[in-house]
Amino acid sequence: MHQVEASARSGSKSAQLRAHLIGLIEGGLKPHDKMPTERDLAEQFGVTRLTVRRALDQLDHEGRVYRTQGAGTFVSEPRIAKSVELTSFSDDMRARGLKPGSLATKVAEIAAGAEIGAQLGISPRDRVTHIHRVRTADNEPMCIEHTYIPSHLAPGLAGLEVEGSLYDLLADRFHLRVSKAEQSIHATVLDPDLARQLDVAEFSPAFRVTRVAYDSRNRRMEYAESLYRADRYSYDFVIYRSSKDDRS
Amino acid sequence: MHQVEASARSGSKSAQLRAHLIGLIEGGLKPHDKMPTERDLAEQFGVTRLTVRRALDQLDHEGRVYRTQGAGTFVSEPRIAKSVELTSFSDDMRARGLKPGSLATKVAEIAAGAEIGAQLGISPRDRVTHIHRVRTADNEPMCIEHTYIPSHLAPGLAGLEVEGSLYDLLADRFHLRVSKAEQSIHATVLDPDLARQLDVAEFSPAFRVTRVAYDSRNRRMEYAESLYRADRYSYDFVIYRSSKDDRS
DNA sequence: TTCACTAATTGGGCTACACCAATTTGGCTT
DNA sequence: AAGCCAAATTGGTGTAGCCCAATTAGTGAA
């Protein structure tokens, strides 16, 4: 049976509607302009208000629009916009208007060992594929990256050419799609050796980021440690007040 | 008017249900245990599945549960849990199991000036209330904080005792409730003077965080600059893959 | 003209029902 | 006993319609 009709495919109706709304926002509307009402959008697109609300909810949480009960939905100022999103280094750099690249990629299959095994929830003797890269933005070093993938999830990965987005490659070749990740960010200073690799002065500030990524079946599929130059990198995002309080 | 009833309610049905589910998670269930099905919960609590889903959606996005189509909803491992949330310093510290406090609070009303005026979207000549605090956790310095509130939003704030949570005070006295904030995080090193105030060695690493907070009517209500000791502070959160791609 | 009150508008939350898609389960076949 | 296939289970998405709450616009009285 064919997967999808021809027309405006993109998956769900709310996803299509979302795409259309983004068009509106980036097309004719200016910040603080009023968007059509939910009821109008529902009628106009022949969907329910709930469906409209789903699309708007997402845009709201992404910081692209804001809503006020009784008043309407409005376009946000660009400013920071975008909440924390899970993207690959490549996508991240492109979103910042920089050209992503890699230096000195090394790939090897090794035993996980105690720490990485613990992070990935596997035995220290299990095999993992270790990928070491110096990532560049506009051809300047941006970040030193160590990535570990359980080999049983991506057999033969060590033999492949790892170029560009690892996440794309894992999705294409092994049907491994990242769905969420736990990330931990520390501030640190670079010792002389690492500073040299990143082409900055000794003891420059840097971000040390560790990440455990999960696939769509909630299996840990990646452990990564990255060091970002602080002079070129920052975290910018929107956060929301959940509701009241439920610390229990 | 009394604030809260006895029983279990706290507003919407999904909020009540959410509270109950948190009870389940923290009560009897262990990580990876299966939660009741959505249909069961709906029947059991006399609500619709949609309402159940709303409560579960939130828990999912907070990283407390995960869902797999066709299989069920399961309790997450504690690990990091919790996504980035917008909390006050006081709440943040309590969530980390530390006792929040303040040293050397200074409050003054000044002209916004160019930079702060620009951040708050007001005239450089408009008045803002400047609050400077050294925040402590378990009585040790954790962060140096400069907060600026447009005076017209909180008239007379400069004359009040600012103790504990500023957000609570703004909510109670001026009906100003933070709904979202744009945050920017940089890594830096501390110069000797600041290092002394935080009681760490010179040139220690630190987070430099700037934040613009919005109230429920989307007015900028606060601009804050904070310096956190990196040896005691880190950012830990869960991030999600939005869906496909809509870079346009 | 001004101000208070009312009514219409608009987002927020919920019920009830229906169908699709991925996963699991259990029985049947080999 | 092993493996395959169909049915039941369970989350994912959508329709249709209801009432509430906050805001805004309009109406009418002082």
pLDDT at B186: 95
Q: Is the CB of A5 under 7 A from strand D?
A: no
Q: Is residue B95 part of a domain?
A: yes
Specify the pLDDT at position A80: 56
Token representation of residue B37? 């099905």
Supply the mean pLDDT for chain A. 85
The tally of domains found in chain A comes to: 2
Task: Report which residue is nearest nucleotide D13 when distances run from CA to C1'.
Answer: A12
Token pair 């245990």: residue: B33
Q: B55 phi and psi, to 5 degrees? A: -65, -45
pLDDT digits (tens, 9 = 90+) for B91-120: 889 888 899 999 878 999 999 999 999 999
Q: What is the pLDDT of residue B6?
A: 31
Question: Do B179 and B120 share a structural domain?
Answer: yes
Judged by a CB distance cut-off of 8 A, whether residue B94 touches chain A is yes
CA A137 to chain centre: 17
Q: Do B230 and A187 touch (CB under 8 A)?
A: yes
CATH of the domain at A23: 1.10.10.10
Query: B197 pLDDT exceeds 80?
Result: yes
Q: Say if residue B50's pLDDT is above 90.
A: yes
Query: Rounded to the nearest 5 degrees, what angle is found at the Cα of B182, between the Cα atoms of B181 and B185?
Result: 125
Q: Does A237 touch chain B (CB under 8 A)?
A: yes
pLDDT at A6: 34
pLDDT for the residue A244: 43
Contacts of A201 in chain B (CB under 8 A): none
The token pair that represents B175 in the structure block: 């009906």
Instruction: With a cut of 70, say whether residue B81 has pLDDT above it.
Output: no
CA atoms within 13 A on the CB side of B246: 22
- Where does the pLDDT of residue B83 fall: very low under 50, low under 70, confident under 90, or very high at 90 and above? low
One-letter amino acid at B202 equals E
Q: What are the pLDDT digits (tens) for A74-133?
A: 998 876 556 567 778 888 898 888 999 998 789 999 999 999 999 998 889 999 999 999
What pLDDT is attached to residue A4? 33
Q: Residue B195 domain-assigned?
A: yes
**Across chain B, what does the average pLDDT equal?**
86
Report yes or no on A247 lying in a domain: no
| Residues B114 and B21 reside in one and the same domain | no
pLDDT at A7: 38
* Residue A47 in domain: yes
Comparing CA positions, the residue from B148, B225, B232 lying closest to residue B198 is B232
Domain that holds residue B66: 13-75
Q: What is the C-alpha separation between B154 and A159, in angstroms, rounded?
A: 63
Q: What one-character DSSP code corresponds to residue B44?
A: H
C1'-nearest nucleotide to the CA of B50: C14
